[in-house]
Amino acid sequence: MEFISYRVEDGVAVATINRPPANALSRALIMEVDELLSAVENDDAVRAIVLHGEGRFFSAGADIKEFTQVTSGEEFSKLAASGQKVFERVETFHKPVIAAIHGAALGGGLELAMSCQMRFVSENAKLGLPELQLGLIPGFAGTQRLPRYVGVAKAAEMLLTSDPISGTEAAQLGLANRAYPEEELLSQTLTIAKKIAKKSPVSVKAAIDMLQYAKHAGYYDGVEAEANSFGTVFVSDDAKEGIQAFLEKREAQFKGK
């Protein structure tokens, strides 16, 4: 991969976006997000992913220069659909993808972050969807995910004014899980990711699957799916190990089976 690299630390793939000067999301970079997931998908040494940006930004948005190379509305629609597909894979990936956002996550950068299972931000970060300033709208599901996090009224304000919010406000609204001083952001995010990496991969995957019902399905469909999933997880080797470790007052050693 040209724009994304990663290292593995205590079960966590620490992935860095590096496309100077602003980590703008080109089509190639979006495809590398997909490649990253494929690279760690079957790697038992990786149980969670932290995604962050090199330099001043997480990602300041889509690569606007690429837009000038698109000549038809149909091609724009295909571009949006391909990005949405990658971001949906991020959202439903069985190993949690966690965004550590500093500097700015704007436009497509925020849409990528919103597809992650969790978001941690620096207090002074800027998060927003400024597409209307260009006479456009978000195209990577930003109009659909943002209201689910901040409510329709606040989403309307952010979309229609194009005004960004701070990391502190994002945490207050529920768009981000927590806000930290910038110098603490990555270390704090890694601490949380490593905690998740110690959990059973079987139950982590099941929990991520169930969260999709909470986001996109009705309550009764969700609780039915939860009951079925509970039974499947309960008979796993990981569940047996977790229960035995609890009874023996020791730390469980989960193997993802």
- d(CA 104, CA 125) in angstroms, rounded, equals 5
For 208-231, the DSSP string reads: HHHHHHHHHS-HHHHHHHHHHHHH
Taking the CA atoms of residue 208, residue 212, residue 215 and residue 219 in that order, the dihedral angle to the nearest 10 degrees is -110
Answer yes or no: 111 catalytic.
Answer: yes
Looking at the DSSP assignment, which residues form a beta bridge with residue 9? 12
Q: Indicate the helix (H) or strand (E) that contains 69.
A: none
> Is 238 in contact with 254 (CB distance < 8 Å)?
yes
Catalytic residue among 32, 91, 123, 131: 131
Catalytic residue among 9, 111, 183, 226: 111
> Is 26 in contact with 19 (CB distance < 8 Å)?
yes
Answer yes or no: 32 catalytic.
Answer: no
How many other CB atoms are there within 10 angstroms of residue 69's CB atom? 9
- Catalytic positions, written as ranges: 111, 131
